[in-house]
Amino acid sequence: MLFSSTTFLYYFLPAVLLVYYGLLRRHRGLRNGFLTLASLFFYAWGEPRFVLVMLLSICMNWLFGLGVDHGKARGRAGLGWMTAAVVFNLSVLFVFKYLTFTLHNLTFLLPDGFSIPEIALPIGISFFTFQALSYVLDVYRGRGEAQKNIVHVGLYISLFPQLIAGPIVRYQTVAHEIVHRQENAEDFFDGFARFTVGLIKKVLLSNSLSVFADYAFAHTGEITTAYAWLGAVCYTLQIFFDFSGYSDMAIGLGRMFGFHFLENFDYPYISRSVTEFWRRWHISLGTWFRDYVYFPMGGNRVSRGRHLLNLFTVWLLTGIWHGANWTFVAWGLMYFVLLAAEKFTGLDKRQTGFAGTALRRTYTLLFVMLGWVIFKSDSLGHTWQYFGAMVGGNGLGFADELFLRDLRTALIPLAAAVLFSMPVADFVKKRMHTQRPVLQMLYYAVLFALFVLSVASIESSSHNPFIYFNF
């Protein structure tokens, strides 16, 4: 089920809110049970059979958490249970997401006539697997208590606001709120406003730009140099507003139910280095790898060679986490090279004047955009073909009538996307909230008008899922 669908907006969300705040307003335990069942229903809406994978994950990680807690209570570290949790969760992820890819790349080792299974990918499996792992790892590290009630573990892993495409909520962030959260009107209305902002990002900006990005990548050999750059720019902005829009909706919905998730984006396209970009983009994934992989391996407090190995491991895993395709491996390794170069030259910490800062921002955006070309491409061959189109390799000239026509059509969403990829909206909102109440009313009136426009657009448009649903 999509947040940006009439089914969710007209039926699911109102029904859940009615039961949660109406029928069950005095019963915390029943609220948690109902929210867990609603989340499982939300997940099962499109592919009912995959809810069994979710239920297996909940049950096993509940047992692993109890095992770790029992081991610690008896004076043992619980290392065996924690190791079992890591092996189990990564094995499930490997079977569903990487087994077919691995077998296709090892066909030379397989006997003749061996049939490689095509295994369907449960939606959002990378997100809920990492959340499940976070639960056991945080219990092991003493950063959250083991939940004796399996419903509470189920609520943490399956909570529908962030279930499909994040942010990856760490157990330590919400461990207390699972049982002791306090819902209030301020959080509810702030959460709904945040949800609305995310919906606007997805429907009015990301979906509008996707038309041009999808055309460019689907017709790579037929587009001019200018159209290739237009497609790359549109995808760069599309994926930001698509993913950050989902994160805004997830954070807003969580707040409506009393949960406070951490931010997942911080205007990454204003970064002055690739290192800074990854502190601002998909923050929950970056901090997950930092705290559970990079730091345990020694981080940067090791020899230079070991530091390089640590960086290589993290960025190889980051690429692989995104999908079973060599393009994601190449994308992750590209960032390993760039980040290693910045760290060992000090570029990410160097202070520069206005011109130097502008140059650094240009360099960062250029490599981020080239990275998105790799990310979007179906194969490495497609990537090179698209890079070729960007430098005129198609031999079709710099621009043509198709480019000029589509540029005119894309101009308004492009300009809006560029503007709101910078902290303009935050600046205006803060000014309004510190000035007269009439300006605050104006802000919410504009937000409501855009919400209505977004809903109208949903009703008249075709199915357009979130990009990160694939991961």
Q: What is the pLDDT of residues 290-324, one digit of tens each?
A: 999 999 999 888 889 999 999 999 999 999 999 88
Active site residues: 322
- Residue 175 CA, distance from chain mean position: 21
Residue range 49-73, pLDDT digits in tens: 899 999 999 999 999 999 998 887 7
Q: What pLDDT does residue 470 have?
A: 66
Burial of 37 (0-12, 13-18, 19+ CB in 10 A): middle
Residue range 68-92, pLDDT digits in tens: 988 877 767 788 899 999 999 999 9
Residue range 221-278, pLDDT digits in tens: 999 999 999 999 999 999 999 999 999 999 999 999 999 999 999 999 999 999 999 9
Q: What pLDDT does residue 243 have?
A: 93
Residue at 150: amino acid letter: I
Q: What pLDDT does residue 92 have?
A: 94
CA atoms of 8 and 156, how far apart (whole Å): 21
Q: Is pLDDT above 90 for 442?
A: no
User: Do 44 and 160 contact (CB within 8 A), yes or no?
Assistant: no
Higher pLDDT, 46 or 360: 360
Closest CA to 199 of 458, 388, 440, 424: 458
Q: What pLDDT does residue 471 have?
A: 62
Q: How many CA atoms lie within 13 A of 252 on its CB side?
A: 19
CA dihedral 57, 165, 236, 263 (to 10 degrees): -110
Local structure of residue 181 (DSSP, 8 states): -
DSSP run (H or E) holding 328 = helix 326-345
Which residue pairs from 148-156 have beta carbons closer than 8 angstroms and sit at least 24 positions apart in sequence? Answer: 148/66, 150/58, 150/59, 150/62, 151/32, 151/33, 151/36, 152/32, 152/178, 152/179, 153/58, 153/61, 153/62, 153/65, 154/36, 154/39, 154/40, 154/58, 154/62, 155/32, 155/35, 155/36, 155/39, 156/131
CA atoms of 242 and 252, how far apart (whole Å): 15
Q: What pLDDT does residue 468 have?
A: 67
Q: Is pLDDT above 60 for 463?
A: no
